[in-house]
């Protein structure tokens, strides 16, 4: 590690004059600035999607409520799902990966910086296209836009076109971004960083990128067919003209299920990065976790029809998709066991990032187990399209992805801004977040078992679902408060947070080798990587050379905050 104490070597000729003010944000091709643009945009959409969720919970809090009209309810339902999937969880990982992937592998930028900027702007305009329709006629056929409901005959408004346009723009954004990540990971790793020494977050982003290329291209083709059916007289999906209504469902879920793993795999990567740092222990079974990631992605391509168990299908098809869905539980289970084993016999520091990760794993486990119920197709015949499913996918998508993204925010905020977020406020936020989440979604399992279908704008007081829905609606506000506290914490810490220094957590990966925030070129000198935990090696070497202890001692606060 010759890097320590080395003087920066900067070649200054032919360097553009740095731009200032807002122009630098419009014209930037720096992966860190683009990452921050992504994350800020995602935050805005996350708040919008959250407000939509609260509106739906207000409407459903009491029976026979008239707070929203059926039309408005369907529009908000569609916007909420579409926003959270396409404009929050997929791009949030693009944001974190943009900022941290080059830093973690010791690169100075992504492979194609201009293409990277284009990805971001297409994502932003996709989101704006969708939300612009709010002022005219928003889409109302659900985020899954099942045909024939989404055909012109049944949904004549142009909101559906806005939805298609958004899918195209954000889809292209994601595909181009994915190509960029793959090229970066394959070609730009630090010397010595073989596949077996790559951080697990980078592993999950690599698999996420491959899945995006496979799944989102399929979706792009499907929505193009829908666009043609709606406007140019083709009949891919119209059964009266020789088309097939089931074709859309197959095409959509061929994208839709890999999409689930696009949302969740990077969250697994975040768990695999943060847990070992705060357990002060190496990750348990590095190779198994990396292999499980690839295994989940492969099997994730083979399970799509388990979303369609109630459609006309033969037993052979039903059985195949049940078995493939079972199989995917094995690598997922392996990951959970490995995370628990990583904490085992460690010295676990209850920092806010760790709390969000462990809370996320605990929640995701529940979603994984309810997934087994849904994989058994006879049981799915009872549970599909009920609130049981709503609960299930919030336990997985929110449990893993949203918990992980807040955990990642607390963990990486010091690197992005140079300041730590408040631990105290973070803990309060976590408690509200955790309790609010389970209050909202646990009873929804019961509502579903009791016969409450999804996507209904009202229910009768004689149905017997008032208690479940009231609890759920109260929980949604607790959850919202938890999120609000984190946002306040973030804004406050930008100016008032404790100065973090380059490596506040004494973490394992290379992003902590450089200053916080990092300089434009990330690293003046890139160290040679000798293990999965290069920062541990570097600290060890410093300790050996200088005699000054670098290791964290259990039970002693590192940085006050």
Partner 1 sequence: MTGRFPPSRPYTADAVPEVQSKTRRRLRVLAASMPVVVLGALLLAPTASAGWFLPQTDGSPNADGIRTLYILITVIGLVIFVGVEGLLIYSMIRFRARKGRVAAQIHGNTQLEIGWTVGAAAILVFLTVFTFLLLNDIKNPAASQIDSNGQPIAAAHAQFASTDQPAPPGGNSLNIKVIGQQYSWNFQYPQIDDKRVYAYNDMYVPVGMTVTLDVESVDVAHSWWIPQLGGKADAIPGYTNKMWFRIPVDAIPEGQDRVVYGGQCAELCGRNHADMVARVIGLRFDDWKSWYDSKAQQLKQAQDEGAAERKQLESSEGQ
Q: Which residues are catalytic?
A: 80, 109, 143, 173-174, 257, 259, 261, 272, 306-307, 332, 335, 454
Q: Which residue has the tokens 């019961």?
A: 446
Nearest-angstrom CA–CA distance, 27 and 7: 30
Range 244-263, binding partner 1 (CB under 8 A) = 244-246
Give yes or no for residue 372 binding partner 1 (CB under 8 A): yes
535-554 binders of partner 1 (CB under 8 A): 536-537, 540, 543-544, 549, 551, 553-554
- C-alpha torsion 412→417→423→428, nearest 10: -90
* Binding to partner 1, residues 68-107 (CB under 8 A): 70-71, 74
Any contact of residue 156 with partner 1 (CB under 8 A)?
no
Distances from the Cα of 436 to the Cαs of 146, 317, 386, 429, 431, in angstroms?
A: 31, 39, 21, 10, 8
Q: Is 457 in the site for partner 1 (CB under 8 A)?
A: yes
Instruction: Sketch the per residue contact string, 214 through 243, with partner 1: x for CB under 8 A, - otherwise.
Output: -------------------------xx---
Regarding 345 and contact with partner 1 (CB under 8 A), the answer is: yes
Query: Which has the closest alpha carbon to 98: 89, 87, 109?
Result: 109
Q: Which of 5, 15, 16, 315 binds partner 1 (CB under 8 A)?
A: 315
Dihedral over alpha carbons 290, 291, 294, 298 (to 10 degrees): -160
Instruction: Work out whether 112 is an interface residue with partner 1 (CB under 8 A).
Output: no
Q: How far is CA 66 from CA 44, 55, 56, 102, 302, in A?
A: 28, 12, 11, 51, 42
Check: CB of residue 335 under 8 Å from CB of residue 406: no
Q: Which of 30, 109, 229, 380 binds partner 1 (CB under 8 A)?
A: 380
Stretch that binds partner 1, among 23-31, 98-106, 406-414, 533-541 (CB under 8 A): 533-541
**Residue 283 Cβ, how far from partner 1 at the closest point, in Å?**
8
Q: Rounded distance, CA 178 to CA 19, Å?
A: 28
Helix (H), strand (E), coil (C) string for 454-483: CCCCCCCHHHCCHHHHHHHHHHHHHHHHHH
In terms of Cβ atoms closer than 10 Å to its own Cβ (0-12, 13-18, 19+), residue 146 is middle
CB of 284 to partner 1, least distance (A): 6
**Nearest approach, Cβ of residue 287 and partner 1 (Å):** 6
In angstroms, what CA-CA distances link 291 with 29, 195, 211? 33, 11, 15
Residue 314 within binding range of partner 1, rule CB under 8 A: yes
Q: Looking at beta carbons only, is 6 or 330 nearer to partner 1? A: 330
Please list every residue from 9 through 28 that binds partner 1, using CB under 8 A: none
* 365 lies in the site for partner 1, by CB under 8 A: yes
Radius of gyration of the chain from its Cα atoms, rounded to whole angstroms? 24
- Taking CB under 8 A as the rule, does residue 466 contact partner 1? no
3-state secondary structure 413-434: HHHHHCECCCHHHHHHHHHHHH
Q: Which residues from 485-524 bind partner 1, rule CB under 8 A? A: none
320 touches partner 1 (CB under 8 A): no
- Enter the DSSP assignment of 514: S
Task: Verify binding: residue 7, partner 1, rule CB under 8 A.
Answer: no
Among 21-29, 203-211, 328-336, 407-415, the segment contacting partner 1 (CB under 8 A): 328-336
Binding of residue 560 to partner 1 (CB under 8 A): no
Q: How far is the CB of 145 from partner 1 (least distance, A)?
A: 10
Number of residues that bind partner 1 (CB under 8 A): 104
- Minimum separation from the CB atom of position 222 to partner 1 (A): 16
Q: How many of the other CB atoms lie within 10 Å of CB of 277?
A: 25
In the bound state with partner 1, the residue whose beta carbon lies nearer, of 126 and 368, is 368
Nearer to partner 1, 59 or 180 (CB): 59
H/E stretch holding 238 reads: none
For tokens 């974190």, what's the residue? 96
Site for partner 1 in 253-312 (CB under 8 A): 279-288, 308, 310-312
Q: How far is CA 433 from CA 263, 356, 480, 522, in A?
A: 19, 9, 8, 34
Interface pick for partner 1 out of 154, 156, 186, 231 (rule CB under 8 A): 154
Binds partner 1 (CB under 8 A): choice among 7, 13, 114, 556: 556
62 binding partner 1? (CB under 8 A): no
512: which 2 tokens? 């902590």
User: Any contact of residue 470 with partner 1 (CB under 8 A)?
Assistant: no
For residue 100, give the nearest of 409, 364, 345 by alpha carbon.
409
Note whether 383 binds partner 1 by CB under 8 A. Answer: yes
User: Which residues face 453 on adjacent strands?
Assistant: 386
- Residue 419 bridge partners (DSSP): 499
Q: Which of 24, 187, 231, 347 binds partner 1 (CB under 8 A)?
A: 347
> Which of residues 140, 259, 423, 503 is near partner 1 by CB under 8 A?
140
Per CB under 8 A, contacts with partner 1 among 184-213 are 196-197
């Amino acid at each position: 590690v010759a890097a320590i104490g080395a003087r920066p070597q900067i070649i200054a000729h032919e360097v553009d004059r740095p731009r200032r003010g807002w122009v630098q944000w419009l014209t930037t091709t720096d992966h860190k600035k683009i990452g921050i643009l992504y994350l800020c945009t995602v935050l805005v959409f996350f708040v919008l999607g959250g407000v939509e969720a609260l509106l739906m919970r207000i409407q459903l809090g009491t029976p026979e409520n008239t707070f929203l009209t059926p039309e408005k309810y369907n529009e908000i339902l569609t916007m909420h799902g579409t926003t959270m999937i396409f404009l929050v969880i997929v791009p949030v990982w693009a944001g974190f990966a943009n900022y941290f992937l080059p830093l973690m592998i010791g690169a100075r930028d992504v492979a194609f910086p201009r293409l990277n900027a284009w990805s971001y702007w297409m994502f932003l305009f996709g989101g704006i296209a969708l939300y612009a329709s709010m002022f005219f006629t928003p889409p109302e056929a659900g985020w899954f836009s099942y045909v024939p409901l989404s055909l012109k005959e049944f949904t004549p408004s142009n909101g559906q076109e806005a939805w298609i346009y958004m899918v195209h723009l954000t889809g292209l954004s994601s595909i181009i971004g994915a190509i960029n990540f793959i090229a970066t990971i394959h070609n730009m790793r630090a010397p010595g960083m073989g596949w077996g020494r790559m951080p697990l977050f980078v592993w999950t982003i690599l698999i996420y990128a491959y899945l995006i290329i496979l799944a989102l291209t399929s979706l792009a083709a499907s929505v193009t067919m829908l666009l043609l059916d709606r406007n140019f007289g083709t009949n891919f999906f119209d059964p009266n003209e020789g088309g097939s209504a089931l074709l859309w469902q197959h095409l959509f879920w061929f994208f839709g299920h890999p999409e689930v793993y696009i949302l969740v795999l990077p969250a697994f990567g975040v768990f695999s990065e943060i847990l070992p740092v705060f357990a002060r222990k190496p990750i348990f079974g590095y190779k198994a976790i990396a292999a499980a990631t690839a295994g989940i992605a492969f099997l994730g391509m083979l399970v799509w029809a388990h979303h369609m168990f109630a459609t006309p299908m033969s037993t052979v098809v039903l059985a195949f998709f049940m078995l493939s869905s079972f199989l995917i539980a094995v690598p997922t289970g392996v990951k959970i066991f490995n995370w628990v084993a990583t904490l085992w016999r460690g010295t676990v520091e209850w920092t806010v990032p760790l709390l969000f990760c462990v809370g996320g794993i605990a929640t995701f486990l529940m979603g994984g187990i309810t997934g087994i119920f849904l994989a058994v197709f006879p049981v799915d015949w009872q549970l599909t399209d009920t609130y049981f499913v709503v609960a299930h996918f919030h336990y997985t998508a929110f449990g893993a992805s949203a918990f992980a993204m807040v955990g990642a925010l607390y963990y990486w905020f010091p690197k992005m801004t140079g300041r730590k977020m408040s631990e105290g406020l973070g803990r309060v936020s976590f408690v509200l977040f955790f309790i609010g989440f389970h209050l909202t979604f646990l009873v929804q399992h019961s509502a579903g078992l009791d016969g409450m279908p999804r996507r209904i704008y009202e229910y009768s007081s004689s149905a017997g679902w008032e208690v479940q829905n009231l609890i759920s609606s109260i929980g949604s506000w607790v959850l919202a408060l938890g999120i609000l506290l984190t946002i306040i914490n973030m804004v406050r810490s930008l100016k008032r947070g404790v100065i973090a220094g380059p490596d506040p957590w004494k973490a394992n990966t290379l992003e902590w080798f450089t200053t916080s925030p990092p300089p434009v070129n990330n690293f003046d000198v890139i160290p040679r990587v000798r293990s999965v935990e290069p920062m541990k090696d570097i600290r060890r070497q410093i300790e050996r050379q200088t005699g000054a202890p670098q290791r964290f001692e259990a039970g002693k606060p590192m940085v006050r905050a």
